[in-house]
A and B are shown apart, each in its own frame.
Chain A
Amino acid sequence: MSRLYDTVEPAVIDEEMLKKAVEEQGPKEEAGKIAKQEGIDFGDVLSLRLDFLNILKIDNLWEFTKLTKLQLDNNIIEKIEGLESLVNLVWLDLSFNNIEVIDNLDSLTKLEDLTLYSNRISTIENMDSLLNLHVLSLGRNQLTDLENLRYLRRFKNLKTLNLSDNPFCKQDEYKQYVIAFLSNLEFLDYRLVDQQSRDAAIEKYQVSRDEMLHNEKQAEIKKEDETKRQQELEKHKNAYVELMNGPDLFEQMYAEDKEGQKLNEMPEKFMQICTQIFDFGIAEHEKREEEVKSFWECVEEAKQDNKRLGMVHIDEFTETKKRMLLEMSQMSDHKMVEQYARDYNDKIQVLWDKLMGLELQLVDQLEEVIKEFERNMQDMVGTFVENVQALLSQCRDLENNHHEKMMEIAIVTLEKVIKNELDDEISDDLKMLLVDKDTIINAVSSSHDVHLLKIDNKEDDIVTRINQSLKNLIEQIHQDEEITRNRMRVSEINNLIDHLREEMDNLEVMQN
């Protein structure tokens, strides 16, 4: 950190430097020779050491995607950067540099050991995603605020921490504070934290610690609740009946209907129907899930059976192959050998026939099953849609009834207003509406239209979504199960057969 810029020429990470480092640190001796002949892929390197090279800027490391260990200590790096692509990194050493801010580490989620010793860091921050951290070294930095250490509480696995030679170490309560608030620590500043000092520290900071723990717990519970709610909603969405178990649809109907709101409150019956739709939707969804599950189980079973048969054939063939090769190697008569070779080729052909036959059989079987499944699913979706539609039309009837009553009341009230017979106090808004017959009738029917529209929208929404997802599912099944799988298997069989033939040819060549 104390190195000055002008004394040494700052360097840049370039191809040459990397190549040299990789070669130096790569395989040794014979392996090294072979590696050199072949060239080393940066993508395959697991660990890299770039120390004492006066590197100013981290760069050009994007190729090292498999890297697990990276040492960049004793350079003059000022900023953490260019490490985004090294997602497999477990061990990162950036000690003895000129780093001022912890930054750009978000993608290194597998990181377990991070060393930032002897830098110019003044706050601990931006490490939220490094949840696997075991060892952290922040010694000889500019950390001044003890409160800042609470940030480290989020690392549940953190066992070893080094904070020595920071400004706050001079404070008397430093050690106890750290132990009290990071009670999972096993080693602090090169020393084992014993139970006694831990107890003492915890006792000292009992009150604030308890408060903190309490808050953390609260936050955790809140988070859990939130995720639970999200999951629930997700589930309902999958059943296409989200938000139907409450007054949501009704509220939506009136959300864009300001006049209506004034005239209304939630009727019990409407709510009931909504709940009915919801329950039905959930039940149907479970049924569909069950159906899909049993379909997949059966398909899996069929595939397993088929695989077993195929493997049995291959094993049988391997046995005969072994036997034949043994016999052939003991034979001297050229003609006999040729005879054997012909036999062998015939056997390969038989094996190909058998395997292909099995595959075709499986294709037939799956096709049939998939068709049946498709039919059943369509039936189920059909029933679901019909039922939902029926229930929603009940809603519509309710709305119509309601509308008629509304109209009646409106007209009666209007007459009363006209005759000045209205005793009750009515709001100014309503007075505005009750000017003449046209206005009130318009208001009421526009409100009615909006309501119907909302119900229609809901219906459309449910129907389109379920149909769409069914279509997707079926398409995916066709694609995966019929086409991709079949092609893969066929190519595998051909590959195997080719290999076997080639093996035979090689053998013949060798014998000749």
Chain B
Amino acid sequence: MDSSEMNEGEIHQIDSDDVIKEEDETENEEGEDLTEDAEALKAELAKIVVHPPSYEQSLMEEFDQAEFSPSYKDNLPKENLVLQYAENFRRQMVQLYRDRKPLFLNPVNECGVEKFVCTTIRPTLLEFKELYNWDGAAEFVADYLNIEPLKPEYELPKRLISPSTVLKRQKGNCFEYSTLLCSLLIGAGYDAYVISGYATKETCLADESRDICPLLKKKEEVQEEARKKEMKKYNVKPPRDLRSKFELKQESKKEAEKQAEKEKQRKEEEERIAELEKPPPDPYFGLRIHAWVLVLSGKREVPENFFIEPFTGLSHPMDSSNYLGIESVWNNVNYWVNMQDCSEGVKGLSFDLGDSTVWEFMFPNNDKPLLKIPDAEDDLNDMDDDEDDEEHEVEKYLDMPPSWVDALKLSHRDFQMRCPHGKKTKVYKRAKLEKFAHYLMKDGLISRLSVYEDRELTDLMKVHEYYAHRSDKLTQKLTNHRTGQVCENFDPGRPRCLKEHQFKSSTPGPENERVMIFYHEARVDGLVKREETQTEMTEEYSNRDDFLFYKYVEFGKRAKKFGPQETSSANKGRPINKMIQKFHRNRNKPANEDIAEIIFHVAEDKIHISYHTEDVRIAASTREFLKPPNWDEKGAVLTFNPEMHQTFQVDPMLPMNKQVELYEMLMELLKAEEKCRNEVRDSQNEVRNILDDRTKEEAASELDISVYDTERNEKAKKHRRELERQQLEEKMRKQEMDIDYLAPFLAKIGNPEKLSKQQAFSLKEECLADLKQRLIDKANLIQARFEKESQELEKKQAWYQQNQVSMGKEDEEEYLTYCKEAIFRIHILDLRLTRHKEQAPHKYMQLEQKLRNDERLSEFF
């Protein structure tokens, strides 16, 4: 259809007669006279009762009409016009393409009023930043709503509920899902459309049990290309390869054959599995109606067109096999009908909506670029004509009326609840994903992914749990039910800086197999990792000042004690057989003195040292000490003789170490061994403490609430309430402070209801006189004090003059301080008096003004 055909003038030319009506078959009434056979037949036939299929539409949910605004219940004239226009369009389509399925154009809304689908889209940008990007918005819609499948699945729904109501009732069919998602996406600036079409059964029913859970999909390993060794000019040539070329060839051939064999087997296996997992054939294949969302490239830096499946919130490529065909596409401004062949699914469809040969549009004000065909006549036309023509055309266009849907609203609380009732469960292939709203679960669980061995979800393999807001900072917990291995991940901020903890659930106690990984940047000792088995412990460090990076300890068995078991023996720790410490190279020391590895053979009373290798050498120096026999006696004199020491020096030219040096070295080593032993004990204690902490935390599992979260933070709430209360009290007090200055005078005359003029005058006079008196009194008081002070000062001065000679130093000092203070007091009184004198008239004026304005007296003045 050309755009020229689509103008308004032609809408009315199409007669309603052209429309194909459904033929109503009227039954032919038969005569009364029937034979017996016929009666029998009739009776027989009467037995057959045919029930018309009862449609779900009859049981459609009813809505309380009162809660909707008028735009839901009625149509504006323009909307009616658009509906007529759409009806006309539908008729033309039906006439031109008789075998096409009906289009989804104007379903009724929740109030039973016909509305055009484009006006049901209400572009909205909500205030949540997660909804600004398409993936966040799609995930939200998928999470927030519950799915209502179409009934029957091969027919278009009769009703399309507005996105605002959908948000309220938290469920909807695919069309309602798509309309809501499209509203959000267009609001966020995407070029998004609702698609009406056909999809596979799995997609229509949101059955993901054949898909691998997106969380389980392995991230594409970014294989870093092996950095090609830069060919330098002077690279040495590799030594010649002296092996037989023929043999090498034969070997590689064999290897290749083996590989091929394996590959083949693998493929066969895969095929077999794929065959097994194929879904059963669907009788309605290709007929199931579905709606989803199309996002076109261009806006919001979208590089490529893609589909979004509203039920799952996942994106699908343009050639997705889930979608089988497209009938029509619409957004809030226009409606396009697909004119392309969909026999091969959506593969290869063009989404150039401006191309009217593949997309039939409904409204001519298509903002998509049209294919322009240069018109020879245009060139001949005058400028004026051109302008006229354009104006004329513009007037003819019918544009889309604004959406009838109320603005979409979503409370912060509902957004955080995420799913209906805060919970949602999804089933994937061999996996089950449960989602929970934040703070919903007592232990802070926000999602749990269970992976099963079989597709029936009976044989549990592992469980992946994600937590949030836990006060023990636990974020993830992976339990492998096969091996009993548990792996917990923590956020930074824990005491002892634990980052990851792997252990066996069957043996959670200390001195068992476990791996602990730490946030080593935060630890003073730079511990990165501690691995334990029952008889060994390995620790890895980084960034230490003493260059230590590795420590290995081998434990022996606890000596069995006979007699009563002491309770303290369990805490005493296992005996140590062997300790190994490894160090990085310390460039400040010569390699020959820089220890690379110390092995304390505790059981054999030996210490073995290996030094680092010098840059130009290949062998390292070593040293071995035998510990003096009485080394562990306290305070004993340790003797030393040359037999206790053996060494190998790489450089024979170096002078031998002196005996004193060796002796001191041995002493140092003994100290180092003691230190190392203590550190091992500390490590063991730390492990025990961490495990204790973990048990306590598991039992308590408290959640942290941010101070900014005013909703949930009880303490903050209380504090706020307290503040409000205080403010209120303050206000009350202020009101009380506003004392009625007339009260005493009114009381004098017996609080009359109404004042006479006489009374009023006298009242005023009295009040003012009283103030005057008080001001004068105050001034007098100040004056009196002032005089008293000055008199006293004078007296004191006189006394001083008389007794000056006989006075001691202390008395003199006392007198001076007194004078100083007195003068200060006098000065202050003087100042006060002056200020009082200044202010008194003002105060008087103020009161007079106030009295004048007082509502009780004002009528008389």
Interface residues, chain A, CB within 8 Å of chain B?
27, 29-31, 34-35, 37-38, 40-41, 44, 291, 294-295, 297-299, 301-303, 307, 310-311, 314, 355, 361-362, 365-366, 368-369, 372-373, 376, 485, 488-489, 491-493, 495-496, 499
Give, as a whole number of angstroms, the nearest-CB distance from B627 to chain A: 14
**B44-79, CB under 8 A of A: which get 1 and which 0?**
000000000000000000000000000000000000
With beta carbons under 8 angstroms apart, the residue of A38, A299, A303 that contacts B234 is A299
B659 touches A38 (CB 8 A): yes
Residue of B nearest to A302 (CB): B236
Whether B733 is near chain A, meaning CB under 8 Å from some CB there, is no
Which A residues touch B236, using CB under 8 A? 298, 301-302, 362, 365-366, 368-369
Whether B616 is near chain A, meaning CB under 8 Å from some CB there, is yes
With beta carbons under 8 angstroms apart, the residue of B237, B616, B639, B650 that contacts A30 is B639
B650 touches A496 (CB 8 A): yes
Which B residues touch A27, using CB under 8 A? 660, 664
A495 touches B640 (CB 8 A): no
B232 touches A35 (CB 8 A): no
- Residues 634-664 (chain B) with a chain A CB within 8 angstroms: 637-640, 648, 650-652, 658-660, 663-664
With beta carbons under 8 angstroms apart, the residue of A302, A366, A372, A492 that contacts B619 is A492
Which A residues touch B651, using CB under 8 A? 492, 495
Q: List 6 A-B contacts (CB under 8 A).
A: A31-B664, A294-B233, A297-B232, A298-B235, A493-B619, A499-B648
B234 touches A295 (CB 8 A): yes
Give, as a whole number of angstroms, the nearest-CB distance from B326 to chain A: 62
With beta carbons under 8 angstroms apart, the residue of A34, A298, A314, A368 that contacts B660 is A34
A373 touches B637 (CB 8 A): no
A35 touches B613 (CB 8 A): no
B660 touches A365 (CB 8 A): no
Which B residues touch A30, using CB under 8 A? 637-640, 663
Q: Which of B613, B617, B651 has the most CB of A within 10 A?
A: B617
B617 touches A492 (CB 8 A): yes
B664 touches A361 (CB 8 A): no
A31 touches B660 (CB 8 A): yes
Residue of A nearest to B610 (CB): A318
The 9 closest A-B pairs by CB, nearest first: A310-B618, A298-B234, A365-B236, A302-B236, A35-B660, A496-B619, A499-B648, A295-B234, A369-B234
A355 touches B618 (CB 8 A): yes
B663 touches A34 (CB 8 A): yes
Q: Which of B232, B236, B658 has the most CB of A within 10 A?
A: B236
B234 touches A31 (CB 8 A): no
Residue of A nearest to B662 (CB): A34
Distance in angstroms between the alpha carbons of A368 and B232 in the assembled complex? 15
Give, as a whole number of angstroms, the nearest-CB distance from A470 to chain B: 17
Distance in angstroms between the alpha carbons of A49 and B421 in the assembled complex? 84
Give, as a whole number of angstroms, the nearest-CB distance from A40 to chain B: 8
* Given A488-B616, A495-B652, residue A34 in contact with residue B234 (CB < 8 A): no
Which B residues touch A303, using CB under 8 A? 616
A372 touches B660 (CB 8 A): no
* Given A27-B664, A34-B659, residue A373 in contact with residue B613 (CB < 8 A): no
Whether B239 is near chain A, meaning CB under 8 Å from some CB there, is yes
Residue of A nearest to B648 (CB): A499
Q: Which of B233, B638, B650, B652 has the most CB of A within 10 A?
A: B233
Which A residues touch B235, using CB under 8 A? 298, 301-302
Residue of B nearest to A309 (CB): B618
Give, as a whole number of angstroms, the nearest-CB distance from B469 to chain A: 46
Residue of A nearest to B628 (CB): A30
Q: Interface on chain A toward B: helix, strand, loop, or mixed SS?
A: helix
Distance in angstroms between the alpha carbons of A368 and B236 in the assembled complex? 8
Q: Interface on chain B toward A: helix, strand, loop, or mixed SS?
A: loop
Give, as a whole number of angstroms, the nearest-CB distance from A189 to chain B: 35
Which A residues touch B233, using CB under 8 A? 291, 294-295, 298, 376
Give, as a whole number of angstroms, the nearest-CB distance from A353 to chain B: 15
Give, as a whole number of angstroms, the nearest-CB distance from B655 to chain A: 10
* Given A38-B660, A495-B652, A499-B648, residue A294 in contact with residue B637 (CB < 8 A): no
Distance in angstroms between the alpha carbons of A495 and B648 in the assembled complex? 9
Residue of A nearest to B641 (CB): A34
A491 touches B659 (CB 8 A): no
Distance in angstroms between the alpha carbons of A34 and B660 in the assembled complex? 6
Distance in angstroms between the alpha carbons of A301 and B235 in the assembled complex? 8
Which B residues touch A496, using CB under 8 A? 619, 648, 650
Which B residues touch A37, using CB under 8 A? 659
Which B residues touch A361, using CB under 8 A? 239
B234 touches A492 (CB 8 A): no
Give, as a whole number of angstroms, the nearest-CB distance from B12 to chain A: 86
Which B residues touch A499, using CB under 8 A? 648
With beta carbons under 8 angstroms apart, the residue of B234, B239, B617 that contacts A372 is B234
Give, as a whole number of angstroms, the nearest-CB distance from A81 to chain B: 31
Distance in angstroms between the alpha carbons of A35 and B663 in the assembled complex? 10
Give, as a whole number of angstroms, the nearest-CB distance from A486 to chain B: 11
Give, as a whole number of angstroms, the nearest-CB distance from A308 to chain B: 9
* Given A30-B638, A30-B640, A368-B237, residue A485 in contact with residue B616 (CB < 8 A): yes
* Given A38-B659, A495-B652, residue A314 in contact with residue B234 (CB < 8 A): no
A294 touches B618 (CB 8 A): no
Distance in angstroms between the alpha carbons of A38 and B661 in the assembled complex? 11
Distance in angstroms between the alpha carbons of A37 and B662 in the assembled complex? 14
Which A residues touch B640, using CB under 8 A? 30, 34
**B235-252, CB under 8 A of A: which get 1 and which 0?**
111010000000000000
A31 touches B237 (CB 8 A): no
Q: Which of B234, B239, B616 has the most CB of A within 10 A?
A: B234
Give, as a whole number of angstroms, the nearest-CB distance from A312 to chain B: 9
Which A residues touch B652, using CB under 8 A? 491, 495
Which B residues touch A41, using CB under 8 A? 658
Distance in angstroms between the alpha carbons of A307 and B613 in the assembled complex? 10
Give, as a whole number of angstroms, the nearest-CB distance from A350 to chain B: 16
Which A residues touch B659, using CB under 8 A? 34-35, 37-38
Which B residues touch A368, using CB under 8 A? 236-237
Give, as a whole number of angstroms, the nearest-CB distance from A348 to chain B: 13
A314 touches B239 (CB 8 A): no
Distance in angstroms between the alpha carbons of A96 and B619 in the assembled complex? 53
Residue of A nearest to B664 (CB): A31
Q: 6 other contacts beyond A27-B660, A294-B233, A492-B650, with CB at 8 A cut-off?
A: A38-B660, A294-B234, A302-B236, A369-B236, A493-B619, A496-B650
Distance in angstroms between the alpha carbons of A301 and B232 in the assembled complex? 11
- Residues 691-711 (chain B) with a chain A CB within 8 angstroms: none
Which A residues touch B664, using CB under 8 A? 27, 31
Distance in angstroms between the alpha carbons of A365 and B619 in the assembled complex? 22
Give, as a whole number of angstroms, the nearest-CB distance from A210 to chain B: 42
Distance in angstroms between the alpha carbons of A492 and B663 in the assembled complex? 27
Residue of A nearest to B233 (CB): A294
Distance in angstroms between the alpha carbons of A189 and B651 in the assembled complex? 52
Distance in angstroms between the alpha carbons of A318 and B664 in the assembled complex? 28
Residue of B nearest to A32 (CB): B660
Give, as a whole number of angstroms, the nearest-CB distance from A461 to chain B: 31
Residue of B nearest to A36 (CB): B660
B232 touches A307 (CB 8 A): no
Which A residues touch B239, using CB under 8 A? 361, 365
Which A residues touch B616, using CB under 8 A? 303, 485, 488-489
Distance in angstroms between the alpha carbons of A88 and B581 in the assembled complex? 33
Residue of B nearest to A306 (CB): B618
Distance in angstroms between the alpha carbons of A369 and B239 in the assembled complex? 13
Which B residues touch A297, using CB under 8 A? 232, 234
Which B residues touch A311, using CB under 8 A? 613, 618
A495 touches B232 (CB 8 A): no
Distance in angstroms between the alpha carbons of A298 and B616 in the assembled complex? 15
Give, as a whole number of angstroms, the nearest-CB distance from B156 to chain A: 73
Distance in angstroms between the alpha carbons of A301 and B659 in the assembled complex? 40
Distance in angstroms between the alpha carbons of A340 and B667 in the assembled complex? 37
Distance in angstroms between the alpha carbons of A314 and B613 in the assembled complex? 12
Distance in angstroms between the alpha carbons of A97 and B456 in the assembled complex? 98
Distance in angstroms between the alpha carbons of A215 and B613 in the assembled complex? 52
Distance in angstroms between the alpha carbons of A41 and B618 in the assembled complex? 32
